[in-house]
Amino acid sequence: GLTAVQGGAPAALSNQPHAEWGAHVLGTLHCSPNNKGKYDALYTLQPSFLQSLKDFYGLRDLFDMDQVVTRAPTGKLIVIVAKPLIQLLLADASRKLKVVNTGVRLLERIDVHSPPLATNFRLAQEAVPCLLPHMTKQLLFANESEVRLLLTRRVVQPGEFGRPAFSKAVSEASTGPAVVVYDSLGLGKVDTGNVLPLALAVFRRSHGVIELLVKKDETASLLSRLSYLPTTAAANAPTDASNASANTSASASAVASATSSSAQPPPLQ
């Protein structure tokens, strides 16, 4: 945990009760006394909350939960910060360092009045490559038709995906954030030894409704990218001919408007 800095000096943590602090926020990690909102301040999170995130996503022990912090005492926005920067800020007892645009956006609280539970935060698409190699839960492995349907419809009702195996995975997933993984080979797992597959942040609503959390202006680029990814006939055999036809027609227009495809950032070390 964030309890000490290099050399055994006391950590630069400050636990200060505040009426506006979220119940899941522990204390101040780094904040200049003359900040005045110009630079990022970082706050640590309660161990119980970090454990709930770890349990919900099934994060492996190799993922350092100390990298997960928040930029405000309300804890509405949660980010992942590189470990070297965390160590540098802990060692900055004089608070002379100033940081801006710190960290990768991980989670955003849906309603500030709701309890600070893992299920009450939306998962940011930009954080998916950071979490995916470490996740063992909330993973939904989809074929090309299912990914295209999600990208074109954005909200998909139970049963509309057609393939029983995918519908079963959705029904077994917990309500809350999840990741749809393009499984071109039908492996049902993430091969962390190779380039990470296309993966999409979604929210699994009650009754199995899947909502895409990717921004609308990014979906055309993702559809274009999907067209160039390898596929296998077995993994992508359509189970519903009408759905497959509709998916192809709907995505063709979006692909035509795509001008570029974006590469995934590497996971934080």
pTM over 0.75: yes
Which pLDDT band, with edges at 50, 70 and 90, does 27 fall under? very high
Proportion of the chain above pLDDT 90, given as a percent: 54
* Lowest mean pLDDT segment, chosen from 4-18, 161-175, 214-228: 4-18
> Given this model, what pLDDT does residue 229 score?
73
Report, in this order, helix, strand and coil percent for the chain, each rounded to 5. Answer: 35, 20, 45
- The whole-number average pLDDT for the span 227-231 is 72
The pLDDT of 158-184, averaged and rounded, is 93
Go through 220-253 and write b for each residue having 16 or more CB atoms within 10 A of its CB, e for each that does not. Answer: bbbbbbbeeeeeeeebbebbbeebbebbeebbee
Task: Decide which of 237 and 245 is more confident.
Answer: 237
